[in-house]
Structure 1
Amino acid sequence: MARIRKRGTSKYQARVRIKGYPEVARTFSSNAAAVLWAAQREQQLLQGLGEALKEADALPLSVALTRYAETVTPRKKSAHSELNRIKVWLRQPLASLTLSSIRGKHLAEYRDSRILASASGNTIRLELAVISHLYEVARKDWGLEHLVNPVKVIHKPKLPRGRTRRLYNGEELALLNWCEQNENLRLKYIVIIAIETAMRRGELAGLTWQDVNLSTRMIYLDDTKNGESRTIPLSSRALGAFKALEDIKDTRTITSATASQNSSKSEIPIFNLHVDNISAEFLAARRGCHIEGLTFHDLRHEATSRLFEKGFNMMEVATITGHKSMQMLKRYTHLRPADLLARLG
């Protein structure tokens, strides 16, 4: 049986007691909310979910996050980044609340506090996504199927507008010349291949000679960011870059000749650079050329836009770039209106 009583001037306490289960109570800011919660709680108890309710009532978010980090996060490609987000959550006061007591208003308050702290909309959405997935895992795999995912009832911050930065006139040549002058041929060919193939930074960092077939002019990526394999055709310029790499014999690059002598070495990354090192070397080149506002990931934008400018349709471009949705592909594509004049006639 449920009882609702007013507490003070603006609070309502709902108390539910079913034979065989301990009495539970919760306070709400409106009578309607108290009545709704009490009715749902009664129904769940009568459906035999008492043990699950008891478990959720006693499971703090901090404990659930620790279990999630140990059993779910390691299976994700973004495990390192997600672990950092979990650490952020573990430092929040919310971490001491139980899963059943966390409501949408708590997460809305967290969202607003992060906005005030100048966190980007995308950062906040990714942080909320951790909690959302945690609740779904708890519902589907941990026997807490009665839980309501509180993330689903709040408004998410708007995503920022997609970057529109492309290479301006002379910037590509300046970057490549800087690499030549500073004897960083490795970065030179990374830049060329990135522009010609639209490969992501992580895909380039993990690329091995085993993935590259110069005879068929194809790159085969077995493990990409979106979890699907992808085959990338090589332009003549990209092919030339890979052939030039074969001739570079230093301690940082594995040649195809060496790889053929020892098959295990063919699995060593071609560039032998961590993703962060690629960004650092690109930043040094950019600063050396006095180029402002350009990131390495902008080369993927540039490559995608160039494919459209060459006349490829959306499905053909998606096959090369690996974009899973047309909406995402659109965000990464920025055509220069001036370049369309010739096709208009």
Structure 2
Amino acid sequence: MLKRLATVSLAALAAVTLASQSNAETRITYKSAKAASSYYQMGVEIAEALKTGTNGDMIVTLEESQGSVQNVMEVRARGGDYVFTAPPALASAAAAEKGPFEGKGSPKFADIRALFPIPSLTMHFVLTKDSGVNDFAGLEGKTLLLGKGSFGATEGENYLQLFGLKDKVTEANVELSNAVPAMKNGQIDGFVTAGSWPAPNVVEAAASTGVTILSLSDDQIAQTKRTKTVIPAGTYAGQDKDITTTSLPVVAFATTAMDDDTAYTLTKTFWDQKATMSETSPWWKGVDKDLMGTITGKIHPGALRYYQEAGFDLTYAQK
């Protein structure tokens, strides 16, 4: 009888131990971008950083996405384990039922809260050295690859319009993935791309053909109504000066359905691991305290606790 009780007690203890281990593990679903994109790779790096930084207590599952609008839309059917990336302006548009969310509103959109910034979509106007182009005025008469359907293509076309170059530049009918070969064979004078810096296709172009990356003046930046961004000298081969350009901020979001402790741990671990991530992927070097100003909506209460403990300067609107 005593042996049987001991066996039962051991079994009960094992069950409790397993339950405790299971409860200690937090699972997060992270949805960002297409699998072939740099933003999906960032998701991979965040997942690894969170696992390492929490000793395996936080496990992140990545999901491929077709874009930020889809990420925001899925808030309607997701729970407290959902983390997604989007520009802050898009999250605000969802709450206001404007733009792509017109007629598709949901009370859950008002529950979206920011966690932390990730590398911004940064505009690059990349020209061959042989083109002799050093500023936007020099683009007149040149052949430029804008690509199709991407943020960079839409933004690039808008800039040409704003700067009076729309009908003075020939737009190449070439896929953006073929930009570097097209530059090498003289098919184009340059290309426009948007992504985190250093952008892989710009790194390749700078190393293989020699390029000039255009800077925007303060007046031009004001015309675009985008965020001013400085790419430090030395980011790309042959770049001996800072590049002043524009960017679209991107932020990792959750909703108020996520409990405060999870949001706190997730946010704290991200910032604790950022320096390590920067050693292997330089695009994380562009994420610092200054990017917190690009968060235009409210920050999740759990993340807010971390930022207040760490001494971050936050606006009233973010709290």
TM-score norm. by structure 1 comes to 0.28
Which has the higher Rg, Structure 1 or Structure 2?
A: 1
The structure whose RCO (Cα within 8 Å, separation 6+) is larger is 2
Q: Name the one with the larger strand percent.
A: 2
